[in-house]
Structure formats: structure tokens, C-alpha cells
Amino acid sequence: MDYTHFFLLATTTLGFISISKSLFNFLVWIYATLIRPTKHLKDYGSWAIITGSTDGIGKSMALELAANGLNLLLLGRNPLKLEATSKEIVDKHFTNVQVKYLVVDLQNNSGDEIMKKIEEAIADLDVGILVNAAGVAYPYARYFHEVDLDLMDTIIKVNIEGTTWVTKAVIPSMIKKKKGAIINIGSGSTVVLPSYPLVTLYAASKSYLAMFSACTNLEYKHQGIDIQCQVPLFVSTKMTRMKASLFVPTPDVYSKTCMKWIGYEKLAVPYFFHSLQSFVIRAIPDVLLDSYMLNYFLYWRKRGLVKDSQIKGTSNSEAN
């Protein structure tokens, strides 16, 4: 066989493999989105633990889990918000559902304290599901060297360490009964996009969650524990301060779709229109996306600096 024939055969084979893989992934996505049944979530156990349960996605996921008949242990840092959320959930016709809460500050409690509090609280509970939804983002885009120490500490402690310690506290009880599901809320910033400049620490913390979920998924699958990273793109919450639209769902709309994916893939983009966005984004060359993202976030940095200086009543030359 001469070189020309070999080259043609090799490129055709590679092209065929690549197209088959994309087609296969597309068919799996159609099946998962439209046909695959939702798992019977109570089969994992009668209690669900949710971090970040006092607002946004975590709160809506708590409501959805209660609608699926699970009792809830809400975790949060603010006792008043926890009490109000518990009441709201009970009032929303979930009379058969028990709701407890536990004050845990993922930034200000040490890992040891977080673990002890949770271990004590769940000692007598049949915990089936853990949702790690607590998270913190930048108030506005900025270069890495501009991130103040407090924000840096918050992001590392809440987004990375918080999820790690909470999971460490809960997983032994799941191993004991050989079933459970853990859902870590990651971000499209790391899975769908090639980069997320000027929001670096946030994106990197979410990358950690995607890898943490992928590895633990393999480690514990054979023990009956389904670990998954669910990846939202934009959702209309206090974190994004964006208006709801088709591509920016409310947390309630978003969380309804999350239930359908629990217990399946190690990585999931649950909301249909986010998946569509992902397909389109992934088709764009990285170099174009990188350049677009950098300019987009430079614009938001400038707006943030202006707002910041207006609040402080100072002039910020960099913003001009």
C-alpha cells in the first residue's frame, strides 16, 4: 500500500470513528432527555441533605426532592433563612415530609467542625441523597491579582473545601447501606467553555468539582453510590442577577429537570436549552471562544469597577 492510500484509509477511519462517536452521544442525549425514566429517588433512602438550601438552585432542589417524597436536612449558614425555608417547604403542602435544618458555615467552620456537626445530625437518619449546591462567585470579573484575600478565601472554602468535607461526612453512611446518590453542582464555565478568564478562581473551583465527581463516581459505583456533577449554564438567581428567559431558567424550572438526571451519568447538563447552547458552543473553535470570553469579561470588569467606585465614592482610573 502506498502512502496516499494509507493516508486516505487512516483519515477515513478517523473521520468515521469521530462521526460515529458524535452520533452515539447525540442518540444517548435524546434517550436521556426524552425517554429515560426518572429514578425512584426514595429508593436511595428516605432523607436528602442539601447544602446551599436557603436560596437559588439549592432551595429549589430541596423543594423538588420534597415533592418526590424525601425528608430534608437543610444545611446553611443563616439560622433565620434556614427556618424560613423549612417553613416554606412544609407549608407547600408537603405535610408527609419532615424537614430539619443544621447551621453549618462552610467558610467559617473548620473541616473538622463541619464533619462533626453533620455526622451527629445524620447518625439516626437514612440518608439517600446529598446535594452539594452551596457556592460563591465573584461579584464582578477581575484579574487574578485583583481578587481580594477575603473573596479568595470564601471561594476556596465554600466551593472546594465545603463540598469535600460535607461529602466526607456523608459518604460512610451510604457505603454502609450500599446505596446513595451525590449531586455536586458544577458549572458550565468549566465543562462547556475552554476558558473563563477574569473569573479564574470560580471556574477553577468548579473544575475541581467536575474531577472530584468523576473520580469518586468510579470509586463508589460498585458500592451502589451514584456520584454526579450537574452542570448549569446561567440560571436566574441572586448569584447571576440575570432576568429569567428561555436560556436563563428560574431555579424552580431548572431544578425540575435536575431530578430526571440523578443517578445516571457522572457529568450532566440537565436543562434542555443549556444542552442546546452547549452543542453550539462546542462547535465554535476554542481560539474564537477564548477571545470572546476575554472581551466579554473585560467589559464586565470595567462595569464592576465603575459600580465599585460609585459605591465607595472614589474615582477609579482603571475603569475609565
Ligand X SMILES: NC(=O)c1ccc[n+]([C@@H]2O[C@H](COP(=O)([O-])OP(=O)(O)OC[C@H]3O[C@@H](n4cnc5c(N)ncnc54)[C@H](OP(=O)(O)O)[C@@H]3O)[C@@H](O)[C@H]2O)c1
Can you read off the three cell numbers belonging to residue 154?
470564601
Restricting to residues 154-173, name those near ligand X by CB under 6 A. 158
Which span sits near ligand X by CB under 6 A: 7-15, 130-138, 260-268, 278-286? Answer: 130-138
Give yes or no for residue 64 binding ligand X (CB under 6 A). Answer: no
Q: How far is the CB of 206 from ligand X (least distance, A)?
A: 7
User: SS3 sequence, the chain?
Assistant: CCHHHHHHHHHHHHHHHHHHHHHHHHHHHHHHHHHCCCCCHHHHCCEEEEECCCCHHHHHHHHHHHHCCCEEEEEECCHHHHHHHHHHHHHCCCCCCCEEEEECCCCCCCHHHHHHHHHHHHCCCCEEEEEECCCCCCCCCCCHHHCCHHHHHHHHHHHHHHHHHHHHHHHHHHHHHCCEEEEEECCHHHHCCCCCCCCHHHHHHHHHHHHHHHHHHHHHHHHCEEEEEECCCCCCCCCCCCCCCCCCCCHHHHHHHHHHHCCCCCEECCCHHHHHHHHHHHHCCHHHHHHHHHHHHHHHHHHHHHHHHHHHCCCCHHHC
Residue 11-50 contact track with ligand X, rule CB under 6 A, x = bound: ----------------------------------------
Give yes or no for residue 240 binding ligand X (CB under 6 A). Answer: yes
Q: How far is the CB of 7 from ligand X (least distance, A)?
A: 44
Q: How far is the CB of 80 from ligand X (least distance, A)?
A: 9
Residue whose CB is less far from ligand X, 222 or 243: 243
Q: From the list 61, 66, 99, 106, which residue makes contact with ligand X (rule: CB under 6 A)? A: 106
Which span sits near ligand X by CB under 6 A: 73-81, 284-292, 293-301, 305-313? Answer: 73-81
202 is catalytic: yes
Q: How far is the CB of 212 from ligand X (least distance, A)?
A: 13
Q: From the list 22, 25, 38, 78, which residue makes contact with ligand X (rule: CB under 6 A)? A: 78
Residue whose CB is less far from ligand X, 126 or 252: 252
Which span sits near ligand X by CB under 6 A: 40-48, 131-139, 164-172, 295-303? Answer: 131-139
Q: Binding residues for ligand X, how many (CB under 6 A)?
A: 29
Radius of gyration of the chain (CA): 22
Measured CA to CA in angstroms, residue 123 lies from 8, 99, 171 at distances of 63, 16, 12
The catalytic position among 202, 208, 220, 271 is 202
Give yes or no for residue 234 binding ligand X (CB under 6 A). Answer: yes
Which span sits near ligand X by CB under 6 A: 51-59, 61-69, 143-151, 269-277? Answer: 51-59
Query: Which residues would be at the binding site for ligand X (CB under 6 A)?
Result: 52, 54-58, 76-78, 81, 105-107, 133-137, 158, 185, 187, 232, 234-235, 237-240, 251
Q: Which residues form the catalytic set? A: 202
